[in-house]
Amino acid sequence: MTILLVKSGGPGAIEEWRAAFATVRPDLDVRWWDDPSVDPLAVRYALVWAPEPGRLKTYPNLRLVISSGAGVDHLAGDTMLPDVPIVRLGAPEAVWRMREYVALSVLHLHRLWHRFAANQRARVWDELPNPEAPERRVGVMGLGQLGAAALDALRPFGFPLSGWSRSPKALPGVRCFADMRGLKPFLAQCDILVCLLPATPETNGILNAETFAALPRGASVVNAARGSLLVEADLLAALDSGHLEAAVLDVFETEPLPPDSPLWLHPCITITPHVASFPGRPARARFAAEVITAFEAGRALPNLFDPKRGY
């Protein structure tokens, strides 16, 4: 039997993975990463999250790697990656989840929900007048599968929309900016900035003091990308100076976020524990099974990781 090796969710998750794959690809022998009875020569596929660097290279017949998350920064640091296709998670459920998360976060910031929450705790009745959607410009950094889907989700609300990517893009109803030359003009017209960039050497620390200063006064920020993109101290300074209004953060430099982080109790910060788009195991197994089937049939693979680009 063909072995699919799984490293995602810990050893306790393997029965759920087996059950999920049994409904879509019952022919696969689904094994836990550290199962001592696995013959390394029989491993054809791997579904992984943060495998030990160098380990994937030890399976000589490995043909395909699937990342259990859409981000592949957990693999990008492995200097001994095997020369096989690496597919990033692209389950429709993951995309729906991110659409929900971005719509929820943008509406939360648009309607000053953090202030109403604080006022409720203080028993303060204050309508807090705030602009209507056509006066609230929303910009998304990263126009890949998630950024484009997030913009789709925001379209019905009537916000003026814009986006920023590495290469030029054209999206209906979205003012598109590209590369470093487009960054400052893009930022200057974002009242709410949503970050959905991958973690690469180029994007490391991109949400920093300079970026925040380029946003209009009173702007807010959503980071659902990676913690390494955000300079947390710069965000705190921009919020405390009043230049930024609020932030919604799903990802952090250190996860879980340490209990002593000043981010936890900041009145203008809303925190979620890296859940923006994580779909359940059955959805990820369905996606992985479709990719394996496409690979075996010689069809083009979706969401291929390009090690040269780093995403």
Residues with catalytic roles: 226, 274
Number of residues forming the site for ligand OXD (CB under 6 A): 7
> Residue count at the site for ligand NDP (CB under 6 A)?
29
Closest approach, Cβ 79 to ligand NDP, in A, equals 20
- The footprint of ligand NDP on residues 207-266 (CB under 6 A) is 224-226, 250-251
Cβ atoms of residues 149 and 98 within 8 Å: yes
Which of 3, 43, 56, 70 is close enough to bind ligand OXD by CB under 6 A?
70
The CB-of-257 to ligand NDP minimum distance in angstroms stands at: 13
71 binds ligand OXD (CB under 6 A): yes
Using rule CB under 6 A, residue 68 touches ligand NDP: no
The residues with which 86 forms a beta bridge, in sequence order, are 65
Residues 136-195 binding ligand NDP (CB under 6 A) are 142-147, 165-167
Q: Which amino acid is at 283?
A: A
**The dihedral sign for the CA sequence 109, 115, 118, 120:** negative
Under the criterion CB under 6 A, does residue 89 sit at the interface with ligand OXD?
yes
Residue 140 CB, nearest approach to ligand NDP (Å) = 9
Is 285 one of the binding residues for ligand OXD (CB under 6 A)? Answer: no
Q: Contacting ligand OXD (CB under 6 A), which of 278, 295, 305, 311? A: 278
Q: Detail the DSSP E strand segments found in the chain.
A: 2-7, 28-32, 43-48, 64-67, 86-87, 138-141, 161-165, 174-178, 192-195, 219-223, 244-249, 269-271
How far does CA 134 lie from the centroid of its chain? 27
Among all chains, which residue has been given the structure tokens 């990517």?
A: 165
Interface stretch with ligand OXD, choices 26-34, 63-71, 175-183, 189-197 (CB under 6 A) = 63-71
CB 59 within 8 A of CB 43: yes
Rounded distance between C-alpha atoms, residue 300 and residue 207, angstroms: 35
147 binds ligand OXD (CB under 6 A): no
Q: Does residue number 287 form part of the binding site for ligand OXD (CB under 6 A)?
A: no
Instruction: Please state the closest distance from residue 226 (CB atom) to ligand OXD, in A.
Output: 7
The smaller minimum CB distance to ligand NDP, of residues 99 and 266, is found at 99
List of residues 6+ apart from 177 with CB closer than 8 A: 162, 163, 164, 165, 183, 185, 186
Q: How far apart are CA 65 and CA 82, in angstroms?
A: 9
Amino acid found at 102: V
- Asked if 311 is part of the footprint of ligand NDP (rule: CB under 6 A), the reply reads yes
Question: What is the spatial distance between Cα 216 and Cα 139, in angstroms, rounded to a whole number?
Answer: 12
Which chain residues interact with ligand OXD by CB under 6 A?
A: 69-71, 89, 94, 277-278
Give me the residues that bind ligand NDP (CB under 6 A), please.
69-71, 142-147, 165-167, 196-200, 202-203, 224-226, 250-251, 274, 276-278, 311
